[in-house]
């Protein structure tokens, strides 16, 4: 495995960095820095999405035939790293990284033609309806039912923890189409238009006071038969494909290293004990260094996965390893921020978002203002996309052969 960049890749990186310097407005960078939730709010993400779309770089992880720029996995990594270091807002992951690849692989030509361009233009905003009240880790036990009625499917049931459902006009979801089959075999994958009666979205407020997730109730919701993706009963296969992308489809290390670099820079200015700064606090700096080493180790693993993909090998269960390590590190970052800011970080502004003209005035600086929300919101990392315990079980079974 050769992990050094080639001359062509270094030129490519320079091109990306120049573009970011010219085209990524400071306003969006500020917004991204002050985003403490898992996803960026659509108003922030969509502006950046439009800039990248105009440039032809939005679908950077998509094959060229579907509008991707035809980049290699290494180029994608270089792009993600440069974006993280420049504090670009997070793009809509659910449509670009999860649904897009599903439609490329399992969608009909009609579905691809109808949905992919609207993902790119931002005309459609998607949410993911997989989890239910008693079906999270044990997703295959889900109970939402879909019953065929003429040319339509009629869906009844409920979904839980549905991120950004309150912004979404479409939801991709799993529903049971066969009650009698083995539980994995009876599930199908649907594309649901949320702009219809029968769909109720109820907010769930997060620990830090953010509205990011919801409960969604489906009452005789109509889905045309042409909006089932794949075959009837193929939903579980598609869900596994999608979840592998959810766990390993992004490189987490660049953003983590960028966060840690900010903490290191701020440590030089934050007062510590006596006349010292936090950068002179040996225990704090040792904790920071441990996190940096782990993030660098994660980066090596992510590069190894990219090298595999470039050589035609699927990433497989290594993605669980990445999800596990990245989630723990995210929480480590939140803890370091709280240690860095001490009492100054013990504030939770009630107004959202924490950027823009209507942002609440930061007490004791923006860094202090985002410390507690970051800490609290990062708790979710070891839960969504499969909990740590579930990832460990996958690693034990498929990597260690236990």
Q: Which residues are identified as catalytic? A: 246
Contact predicate 345/271, CB 8 Å: no
User: Segment contacting ligand FAD (CB under 6 A): 67-75, 177-185, 262-270, 387-395?
Assistant: 387-395
Residue 335 sits in the site that holds ligand FAD (CB under 6 A):
no
- 82 or 174, CB closer to ligand FAD? 174
Separation CA 78–CA 14 (nearest Å): 10
Q: How far is the CB of 209 from ligand FAD (least distance, A)?
A: 14
Q: Of 141 and 179, which has the nearer Cβ to ligand FAD?
A: 141
Query: With 0-12 CB in 10 A as exposed, 13-18 as middle and 19+ as buried, what is 333?
Result: buried
Beta-carbon contacts of 12 under 8 Å, excluding residues fewer than 6 positions away, are 75, 78
CA distance 155 to 178: 13
Binding window for ligand FAD (CB under 6 A); candidates: 61-69, 113-121, 156-164, 285-293:
156-164
Residue 137 in the binding site for ligand FAD (CB under 6 A): yes
Among 102, 199, 213, 255, indicate the residue that binds ligand FAD (CB under 6 A): 213
Cβ at position 225, least distance to ligand FAD in Å: 23
Write down the H helix ranges in 6-139. Answer: 7-23, 26-33, 42-55, 73-85, 93, 100-106, 109-121
Which positions from 263 through 302 interact with ligand FAD, judged by CB under 6 A?
none
Restricted to residues 33-62, the positions that interact with ligand FAD (CB under 6 A) are: 38
DSSP-derived 3-state class of residue 353: coil
Q: Which residue has the tokens 């109970």?
A: 143
Q: Which residue from 62, 127, 49 is spatially nearest to 91, judged by alpha carbons?
A: 49
Asked whether position 383 contacts ligand FAD by CB under 6 A, the answer is yes
User: Measured from the CB of residue 110, what is the shortest distance to ligand FAD in angstroms?
Assistant: 26
The residue behind tokens 């590190």 is 329
* Residue (137 or 398) nearer to ligand FAD, CB: 137
243 scored as a contact of ligand FAD (CB under 6 A): no
Tell the smallest beta-carbon distance from residue 387 to ligand FAD (Å): 3
Stretch binding ligand FAD (CB under 6 A), from 13-21, 159-167, 191-199, 225-233: 159-167
Is the CB of 74 or the CB of 238 nearer to ligand FAD?
238
The span from the CA of 269 to the CA of 366, in Å, is 14
Q: Return the range that interacts with ligand FAD (CB under 6 A); candidates 122-130, 176-184, 252-260, 344-352.
A: 122-130
> What is Dmax (Cα atoms) for the chain?
76
Q: Per CB under 6 A, which region of 66-74, 180-188, 312-320, 383-391 contacts ligand FAD?
A: 383-391
The helix, strand and coil proportions of the chain, stated in percent and rounded to the nearest 5, come to: 50, 15, 35
Q: Which residue in the set 110, 219, 276, 389 belongs to the binding site for ligand FAD (CB under 6 A)?
A: 389
Q: Is residue 130 involved in binding ligand FAD (CB under 6 A)?
A: yes
| SS3 category, 295 | helix
Tell me how many helices (H) and strands (E) the chain has: 13, 8
The C-alpha atoms of residue 71 and residue 52 are separated, in whole angstroms, by 14
* Bridge partners, 174 (sequence order): 189
Residues that bind ligand FAD (CB under 6 A): 38, 127-131, 136-137, 161-163, 213, 380, 383-384, 386-387, 389-390, 393
């Amino acid at each position: 495995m050769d992990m050094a960049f080639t001359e062509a890749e270094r030129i490519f990186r320079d091109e990306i960095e120049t573009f970011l310097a010219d085209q990524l407005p400071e306003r969006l960078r500020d917004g991204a820095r002050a985003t403490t939730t898992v996803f960026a709010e659509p108003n922030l993400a969509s502006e950046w999405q439009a800039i990248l779309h105009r440039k032809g770089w939005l679908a950077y992880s998509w094959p060229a035939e579907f509008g991707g720029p035809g980049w290699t996995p290494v180029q994608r990594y270089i792009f993600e790293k440069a974006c993280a270091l420049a504090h670009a807002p997070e793009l809509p992951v659910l449509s670009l990284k999860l649904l897009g690849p599903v439609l490329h692989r399992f969608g009909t030509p009609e579905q691809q033609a109808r949905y992919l361009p609207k993902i790119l233009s931002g005309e459609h905003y998607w949410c993911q309806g997989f989890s239910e009240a008693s079906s999270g880790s044990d997703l295959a036990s889900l109970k939402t039912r879909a019953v065929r009625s003429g040319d339509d499917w009629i869906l009844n049931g409920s979904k839980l923890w549905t991120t950004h459902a309150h912004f979404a006009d479409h939801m991709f979801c799993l529903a049971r189409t066969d009650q009698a089959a083995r539980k994995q075999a009876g599930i199908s994958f649907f594309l649901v238009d949320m702009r219809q009666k029968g769909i109720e979205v109820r907010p769930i407020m997060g620990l830090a006071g953010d509205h990011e997730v919801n409960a969604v109730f489906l009452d005789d919701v109509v889905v045309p038969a042409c909006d089932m993706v794949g075959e009837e009963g193929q939903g579980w296969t598609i869900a596994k494909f999608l979840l592998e992308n959810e766990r390993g489809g992004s490189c987490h290390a660049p953003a983590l290293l960028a966060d840690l670099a900010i903490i290191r820079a701020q440590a030089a200015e934050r007062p510590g004990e006596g006349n010292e700064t936090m950068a002179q606090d040996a225990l704090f700096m040792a904790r920071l260094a441990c996190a940096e080493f782990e993030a660098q180790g994660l980066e090596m693993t992510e590069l190894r996965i990219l090298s595999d993909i470039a050589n035609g090998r699927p990433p497989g269960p290594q993605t669980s390893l990445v999800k596990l390590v990245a989630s723990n590190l995210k929480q480590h970052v939140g803890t370091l921020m709280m240690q860095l800011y001490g009492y100054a970080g013990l504030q939770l502004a009630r107004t959202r978002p924490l950027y823009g003209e209507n942002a609440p005035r930061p007490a004791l600086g923006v860094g202090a203002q985002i410390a507690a929300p970051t800490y609290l919101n990062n708790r979710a990392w070891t839960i969504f996309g499969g909990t740590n315990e579930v990832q460990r079980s996958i690693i034990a079974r498929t990597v260690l052969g236990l």
